[in-house]
Amino acid sequence: MRNASDVIRTVSRHTLAYMLFSISELFRHYDEFDPLDLLIVHAILNANVIGVMNDPSLDEQFSSIHAVEPDAIKQGVSRAALSRFLSLPLETVRRRVTGLKRRKILAETKAGLIVTEQNAFRFGNNHELQKTNMLLLTKLLRDLKRAGINGPDDLRAPKGAASTRKAK
């Protein structure tokens, strides 16, 4: 059995490659956007659908590539929460959000910011990026399997191994 630090290093290497390829594709597809704006948009998109992902019936209802979560069920997020999540100054987030609202990508609801389902840039509903993500995820899973990591059970430290410190 592999030791825990070998598994951590292997998974870290492969998942970092997956994240960088994903970000690169995102930047390539939306080259007219500043990378920081793309980061903010996608952090908001993620916050908007956390409730959907945590509800099995909603997750199934909106699982089709042709289904888009309606604005009414999206979970809003505050500028302050975005600032904390992205470790960006609040003023930077506020200024960027103002510009994205002006472009009609973001909307303000009682619950906070959402990426509108009708945005002209198809954020959250870009089939090309979704298909590319599937290819990249397939590669990640194939690479992990080749490295001997077939599922979550392979991520557990062997019995008696020293536990690693939790990240801050």
Task: Provide DSSP, 48-112.
Answer: HTHHHHT-HHHHHHT-STT----GGGPPPB-HHHHHHHHT--HHHHHHHHHHHHHTTSEEEETTE
* Domain 34-120 annotated CATH 3.30.980.20: no
* pLDDT reported for residue 3: 80
pLDDT tens-digit map of 44-57: 999 999 999 999 99
pLDDT of residue 1: 44
* pLDDT band, very low/low/confident/very high, at 112 (cuts 50, 70, 90): very high
Question: For the chain, what are the domain ranges?
Answer: 1-33+137-148, 34-120
Average pLDDT rounded to a whole number, residues 106-123: 95
Instruction: Give CA angle at 128 (134, 70), nearest 5°.
Output: 95
Does residue 167 carry a pLDDT above 90?
Answer: no
The pLDDT of residue 5: 84
Cα 53 to Cα 46: distance, rounded to the nearest angstrom: 10
Contact 82, 44 (CB under 8 A): yes
**pTM for the whole structure:** 0.85
Place of tokens 């430290």: 157
